[in-house]
Chains A and B, each alone.
Chain A
Amino acid sequence: MKRSNAPIFWLLFGAGGMLSALLGAMLVFITGIAVPLGWPLHGELMSYPRMLGFAQHWLGKGFVFVVIMLFAWHAAHRILCSLHDIGIHKGPAAKAACYGAAVVVTAVAGANLFRLGF
């Protein structure tokens, strides 16, 4: 019997769902609204030296990577399951497109975070 790879995707989906439910809204608010508008947080919060330091620290680097990776895998899995509802068969092509997108996002984020050094 062929071993199923479903549990791996389920684990990534579940972890991403929980992390985005807990922190997603506040992360979007901080990086996309509060800091760009300079209110209620300081506009310099995401200045180059600060974010470089954040992303070079193993904890900051790890946090950013885990957020990007889990969000991408959670979304990919859920979008794949929804394709059926808009009349697209959940075949090998749909799977490749959804999980492929998650692989690309994970790889690009990982490579660039790694490139920043420690």
Chain B
Amino acid sequence: MQGWWRRDPFFVRYMVREATAVAVLVYAVVLTVGAVRLAQGEAAWNGWLAALRSPGSVLLHVVLLVAMVVHAKSWFEIMPKTMPMIVIGGRRLSATTITRSGWAAAVIASIALFAWAAWWRA
């Protein structure tokens, strides 16, 4: 049954979605290595920063970035199915509204984080 998922584009999309979990794990490991290097002192930390600047690392993070966006997309798409039902004014909150609210929250949170990082340069 190896490679069963290659038979149908629907299954391929499913497997790509599942693979984004690996990207989340890889990023957690990248940050953990950063924490270890920071605790080892300035020289170790600067070595880690230099590694982050290498083309291979930047490329890896571009892949991780795309995976994170796909991951967020699938998360907000399944949210209406996993959340308890919300009834407002006698009508069930639609799946589209829930998914769009999720996206809106993610955009606002991302802008806030970026704005904070830009402001923190002082």
Give residues in A with beta carbon < 8 Å to B: 14, 16-18, 20-37, 40-42, 44-48, 51-52, 55, 64, 67-68, 71-72, 74-76, 78-79, 82, 85-87, 101, 105, 108-109, 112-113, 115-116
Contact = CB atoms under 8 A, between A and B. Distances in A.
Most interface-central of B18, B28, B45 (chain A CB within 10 A): B28
A109 B35 contact: yes
Nearest to B120: A45
Contacts of B102: 21
Nearest to A49: B42
Contact of A20 (B18, B36, B60, B72): B72
B105 interface: yes
A74 B74 CA distance: 14
A90 to B, nearest CB: 14
Interface of B: 1-2, 5, 15, 18, 21-22, 24-25, 27-32, 34-36, 38-39, 42, 45-46, 49, 52-53, 57-58, 60-62, 64-65, 68-69, 71-72, 75-76, 82, 102, 105-106, 109-110, 113-114, 117-118, 120-121
B21 A48 contact: no
Which applies to chain B's interface (DSSP): helix, strand, loop or mixed?
A: helix
Contacts of B58: 32-33, 36-37
Contact of B21 (A68, A74, A109): A74
B28 to A, nearest CB: 4
A105 B71 CA distance: 21
A77 B65 CA distance: 21
A82 B117 CA distance: 35
15 contacts: A17-B75, A21-B75, A22-B106, A25-B72, A34-B117, A36-B53, A40-B118, A51-B45, A55-B35, A71-B24, A78-B24, A85-B15, A109-B31, A112-B32, A112-B38
